[in-house]
Amino acid sequence: MPSRPRIDNTLLRAVVQAFRWKQQLESGQFATISELAEGETLDRSLVSHMLRLTLLAPDLIEVILDGKQPRTMELQPLMRGLTVDWKRQRCSNVRY
């Protein structure tokens, strides 16, 4: 029997926000992360850390959107220690 989805709204909102900010940077709406942070009235460091979420492996993003991420997958550790190596991301985030 498949497990019931467990939407982590904090994690979900952060991932969606990160991709929105990435799009704003790529479109030229903001030239730098510093400008973006100022426009959002947030600390540049926080914005930089959240933007790392856009480097998540596509299948990990999908499980977050579906609410099927492992219970061990939490926002703060992802923002601090995210590797860009998708294989290592999968190994460090337990099976889903």
Of 13 and 81, more confident: 13
Mean pLDDT of the chain: 89
> What is the percentage of the chain residues whose pLDDT exceeds 90?
65
**How would you write 1-48 as a 3-class SS string?**
CCCCCCCCHHHHHHHHHHHHHHHHHHHCCCCCHHHHHHHCCCCHHHHH
> What is the percentage of the chain residues whose pLDDT exceeds 70?
92
Q: Is the pTM of this model over 0.75?
A: yes
How confident is the model over 44-88, as pLDDT tens digits?
999 999 999 999 999 999 999 999 998 888 899 888 878 888 888
Which tokens go with 50?
């959240």
